[in-house]
Chains A and B, each alone.
Chain A
Amino acid sequence: MSGNGKVDRRGFMKGAAVAGGATLATETRVRAQTAPAQPKAASPSAAQQAMENDPPGEAEKLTTEKTGSDFMVDVCQTLGLDYMAACPGSTFRSLQESFINYGKNTKPEWLTCLHEEVSIGMGHGYAKVAGKPMAAMVHGTVGMQHGAMALYNAWCDRVPVIVFTASAGPVEDRRPGVEWMHTVQDGAATVRDFVKWDDYPRSLQSFSESTVRAYQLATAQPQAPVFITADGKLQEMELSKAANAKLSIPKLNHPTQAAADANALREAAKMLVAAENPVIIADRYARTQQGVDDLVKLAELLQAPVIEARGRMNFPTTHYLSHWERSGPVVAQADLVLSLEPSDLYGQLNKMRDQLERTEGPKTKAGVKVISISTHDLLVRANYQDFQRYSPADLSITADGEASMPYLIEAVRQEIGDRKAAFEARGQKLLAAWKGLADRARAEAAMSWDLTPISTARIYAELYNQVKDMDWALLQDGGFQSNWPHRLWPIEKHHQFMGGSGGGGVGYQPVAALGGALAHRDAGGRTPISVCGDGEFNMAPHTLWTAAHHKIPYLTVVHNNRAYHQEVMHVQHMANRHNRGVENAIIGTTLRAPFVDYAKVAQGYGAVGIGPINDPKDLGPAIAKGLDAMKSGQPVLIDVVSQPR
């Protein structure tokens, strides 16, 4: 996928074409590297030593020009992977050396991360912006355990990341001690519940086929991470010219995504056209700008309101059919809901009150009809409950939302008949209701304008004011900042917004921002911005070192409410419920004594650190300074002491 979010098929095909040619290229390299070896002169004392210790006969062979890990690099290079992110680990020492020397550290380029949660989580953010996966490599057992949460987030968010781990070989090849600790029978057992596919290939040919298969599966809808274990013995074993010649790398398949069947779409179109008050809810629907443009077409054709569920950038916030801010009344009045790639259909239609006794009820009126178009049911596992509560639908279409959209539009066109005038009248009403929304947002933003600590509305207004003429892109979903991005910013292009964590694993934000910023850097000329909670930031502040080291510029604004604020509110709820100690919810949830100085933390990691900013009047100049520093390719952090939400 290219920078504008469209699928760059030629780019993909180039990768595939290389696949066939890769073994040839390898051959050339093999020949160059196996030129007659020069006899080495051993030092006399070493020779004497050898005579004393070794049985007479052939001298021990200590070096080789080619090992299995070189071939593993060939495999990864044919896939067109741009990056391999890793925190070093001895179980993949041979692979790492092959990537940086044999593979010349290009495509993939090795990225140094300071924690495996970063290696994997940056791939999560990267794939959502670049539209293609990157790879991560994590140390056997311990590195995998570190990376597991990032993998879970990517899984829940249905985003592809190609993850490799490694393991020492069979018993006779393991050194006593730590190699046993870092060796695993079944590398993927810990994470199997939240990867789409995994394998522990036992031969180099298996590695080749499994890695290509893994890539294909990861990128087919619904997308998800995959996990391959690179055996230590395979990595380090000598690979003779003859053995190498027998190996092959299959061509990568690029399957088309599954569109809905024509009958189901005709039925959906009939229901949509017949409805008096249809509403469209879009969650993880749009993968590309085309998806956004198609949804605009459908909404305009039906003159139906769209509710942005913010899993991806689905619909322009400036369009008069964007009614996210009115979602309560819009859903309550709807007689038909069309839900596109929902991560939680039940939650879209129902609510639950969080008091001592939990009570639930519908958000919709009785008799509402529900259509869903989703790949959700194609990838469901039993253990982790991210599949959400079961929700009946009148028409449940298992298919890719974006791939199905052009056909749905066509089906609606054919059904419209004499409904056009009614649709126009509906559109006029929606236009009138939409007109007040921006002023309402401005009025609410004004209420906190001069407050200290600084309000989240002010952060977003000041930011937008300075980036409005740039090709900006937001790297966070803004939910913890009262959704101000969607209320105040004209989010119109697919790359301007990438959704949230998927799994709610805290630490996603700084890590996914790093990956997203990398993809934006490569797309060229963009200004990526991550407004990141302080709790989130503390999970991976060292992302700034990776960004500084690899020259990945982006602006991090720490929404510093000096707390894990969601948890402050949860503990408060419990204190109230138990009628005691309502002033104690800050214990164990706030980051107060001492305050963290995030600007200094950033500087320590080699990034530009500005702040803490306490006075709202200082915010504008701080942002100007930060944006200026970014121009030289540096990551920048501004610490803004802020309101809770």
Chain B
Amino acid sequence: MRVSTLLAAALLISAPAFAQQSGDVANGKNHFDNDGCWQCHGYGGQGAALTGPRVARTALTFDQFLNQLRHPANAMPPFEAPIVPDATARDIYAYLESMPKPPEAKDIPMLYATKGK
């Protein structure tokens, strides 16, 4: 008991957990669904081959995430502070971090009926 409580406390101060705590997930979802993110990354942040990569449970740090919004690597439209302030970006980041783990291909037999490779 005591050990797991300690573990949980330790996890809380790791970077993603900290971000999650400091961002408002509900507000993040609201912005993800209304500020255009869904268009290219999908409503579930799952990504789409030709419009934008997966962002659900992003592996980026918040700084890297913010940097992508402000200075996109390539084709993504820039989201600068006047339209997505840092605090909103933090909420969106928290929402992405909070997204549920997707199923794995191995658990979906139907996917193995497809292309015979």
Task: Give the interface of A toward B (CB within 8 A).
Answer: 317-318, 353-355, 434-435, 437-439, 441-451, 453, 455-456, 460-462, 464-465, 468, 479, 482-483, 487-490, 565, 568-569, 572-573, 575-577, 579-580, 582-583, 585, 643-645
Question: Which residues of the partner chain B approach A437 to less than 8 Å between Cβ atoms?
Answer: 117
| Contact in complex: B110, A318 (CB < 8 Å) | no
Q: Report which of A443, A468, A487, A579 forms a contact with B83, defined as CB distance below 8 A.
A: A579
* A interface SS class: helix
Q: Report which of B42, B56, B84 forms a contact with A643, defined as CB distance below 8 A.
A: B42
Question: Which residues of the partner chain A approach B77 to less than 8 Å between Cβ atoms?
Answer: 572-573, 575-577
Using known A-B contacts A482-B48, A645-B51, determine if residue A442 contacts B42 with beta carbons closer than 8 Å. no
Q: How many residues of B sit at the interface, in one of the four size bands?
A: 35 or more
Q: Report which of A447, A464, A565, A644 forms a contact with B56, defined as CB distance below 8 A.
A: A447
| Contact in complex: A583, B35 (CB < 8 Å) | yes
13 A-B residue pairs with CB within 8 Å: A434-B117, A438-B117, A442-B114, A447-B56, A450-B102, A451-B44, A455-B42, A569-B39, A572-B36, A580-B82, A582-B35, A582-B83, A645-B40
Min CB distance, B111 to chain A, in Å?
Answer: 5
B9 is an interface residue with CB less than 8 A from chain A: no
A465 to B108, CA, bound (A): 12
Using known A-B contacts A354-B75, A645-B48, determine if residue A442 contacts B111 with beta carbons closer than 8 Å. yes
Q: Which residue of B lies closest to A484 (CB)?
A: B49
Using known A-B contacts A442-B105, A572-B36, A576-B77, determine if residue A489 contacts B83 with beta carbons closer than 8 Å. no
Q: Report which of A354, A439, A449, A460 forms a contact with B103, defined as CB distance below 8 A.
A: A449
Min CB distance, A399 to chain B, in Å?
Answer: 32
A184 to B62, CA, bound (A): 65
A565 to B94, CA, bound (A): 26
Q: Which residue of A lies closest to B111 (CB)?
A: A442
Q: Report which of A438, A573, A577, A583 forms a contact with B115, defined as CB distance below 8 A.
A: A438
B43 is an interface residue with CB less than 8 A from chain A: yes
Q: Report which of A353, A569, A645 forms a contact with B74, defined as CB distance below 8 A.
A: A353
Min CB distance, B37 to chain A, in Å?
Answer: 10
Extra 19 A-B pairs, beta carbons < 8 Å, given A449-B108, A462-B110, A575-B36:
A442-B105, A444-B54, A446-B104, A447-B54, A447-B56, A450-B102, A451-B42, A460-B114, A461-B111, A568-B39, A569-B40, A575-B77, A577-B78, A582-B84, A583-B34, A643-B48, A644-B39, A644-B51, A645-B50
Question: Which residues of the partner chain B approach A569 to less than 8 Å between Cβ atoms?
Answer: 36, 39-40, 51
Q: Which residue of B lies closest to A435 (CB)?
A: B117
Q: Report which of B49, B54, B112 forms a contact with A487, defined as CB distance below 8 A.
A: B49
Q: Which residue of B lies closest to A645 (CB)?
A: B48
Q: Report which of A447, A479, A643 forms a contact with B43, defined as CB distance below 8 A.
A: A643
| Contact in complex: B116, A490 (CB < 8 Å) | yes
Question: Which residues of the partner chain B approach A482 to less than 8 Å between Cβ atoms?
Answer: 48-51
Min CB distance, B55 to chain A, in Å?
Answer: 11
* B interface SS class: loop
| Contact in complex: A585, B39 (CB < 8 Å) | yes
Which of chain B's residues 13-40 have a Cβ closer than 8 Å to chain A? 34-36, 38-40
| Contact in complex: B105, A439 (CB < 8 Å) | yes
Q: Which residue of B lies closest to A455 (CB)?
A: B46
Min CB distance, A439 to chain B, in Å?
Answer: 7
Kindly name the residue among B51, B80, B102, B114 whose own CB sees the greatest number of chain A CB atoms within 10 A: B114
Min CB distance, B29 to chain A, in Å?
Answer: 14
A354 to B72, CA, bound (A): 11
Q: Which residue of B lies closest to A464 (CB)?
A: B114
Using known A-B contacts A461-B111, A465-B110, determine if residue A582 contacts B39 with beta carbons closer than 8 Å. no
| Contact in complex: A447, B47 (CB < 8 Å) | yes
Using known A-B contacts A446-B104, A451-B44, determine if residue A317 contacts B110 with beta carbons closer than 8 Å. no
Q: Which residue of A lies closest to B34 (CB)?
A: A583
Using known A-B contacts A435-B117, A572-B77, determine if residue A579 contacts B48 with beta carbons closer than 8 Å. no
A447 to B46, CA, bound (A): 6
Using known A-B contacts A446-B102, A446-B111, A482-B50, determine if residue A353 contacts B36 with beta carbons closer than 8 Å. no
| Contact in complex: B103, A450 (CB < 8 Å) | yes
| Contact in complex: B49, A483 (CB < 8 Å) | yes
Min CB distance, B109 to chain A, in Å?
Answer: 9
Kindly name the residue among B34, B43, B49, B110 whose own CB sees the greatest number of chain A CB atoms within 10 A: B49
A479 to B65, CA, bound (A): 28
A645 to B35, CA, bound (A): 17
| Contact in complex: A576, B79 (CB < 8 Å) | yes
A442 to B104, CA, bound (A): 9
Min CB distance, A573 to chain B, in Å?
Answer: 5
Question: Which residues of the partner chain B approach A644 to less than 8 Å between Cβ atoms?
Answer: 38-40, 42-43, 48, 51
| Contact in complex: A444, B47 (CB < 8 Å) | yes
B3 is an interface residue with CB less than 8 A from chain A: no
A443 to B113, CA, bound (A): 14
Question: Which residues of the partner chain B approach A579 to less than 8 Å between Cβ atoms?
Answer: 80, 82-83
Question: Which residues of the partner chain A approach B108 to less than 8 Å between Cβ atoms?
Answer: 442, 445-446, 449, 461
Question: Which residues of the partner chain A approach B50 to less than 8 Å between Cβ atoms?
Answer: 479, 482-483, 645
| Contact in complex: B112, A442 (CB < 8 Å) | yes
A565 to B26, CA, bound (A): 25
Min CB distance, B71 to chain A, in Å?
Answer: 10
A376 to B105, CA, bound (A): 43
Q: Report which of A434, A444, A449, A468 forms a contact with B113, defined as CB distance below 8 A.
A: A468
| Contact in complex: A445, B44 (CB < 8 Å) | no
Min CB distance, A575 to chain B, in Å?
Answer: 8
Q: Report which of A434, A444, A565 forms a contact with B39, defined as CB distance below 8 A.
A: A565
Min CB distance, B92 to chain A, in Å?
Answer: 12
| Contact in complex: A453, B43 (CB < 8 Å) | yes
Q: Which residue of A lies closest to B112 (CB)?
A: A442
Using known A-B contacts A442-B105, A487-B115, A576-B78, determine if residue A461 contacts B35 with beta carbons closer than 8 Å. no
A268 to B95, CA, bound (A): 54
Task: Please list the 8 inter-chain residue pairs (A to B) with the smallest Cβ-Cβ separation, ordered nearest first.
Answer: A438-B117, A576-B77, A645-B48, A442-B105, A448-B46, A446-B105, A488-B114, A482-B49
Min CB distance, A444 to chain B, in Å?
Answer: 7
| Contact in complex: A445, B42 (CB < 8 Å) | no
Question: Which residues of the partner chain B approach A577 to less than 8 Å between Cβ atoms?
Answer: 77-78
Q: Mark B49-93, 1 if CB is under 8 A from A, else 0.
A: 111001010000000000000001011011110111000000000
Kindly name the residue among A435, A487, A644 whose own CB sees the greatest number of chain B CB atoms within 10 A: A644
Min CB distance, A563 to chain B, in Å?
Answer: 9
Question: Which residues of the partner chain A approach B36 to less than 8 Å between Cβ atoms?
Answer: 569, 572, 575-576, 582-583, 585
| Contact in complex: B78, A443 (CB < 8 Å) | no
A520 to B75, CA, bound (A): 39
Question: Which residues of the partner chain B approach A464 to less than 8 Å between Cβ atoms?
Answer: 113-114
| Contact in complex: B42, A488 (CB < 8 Å) | no
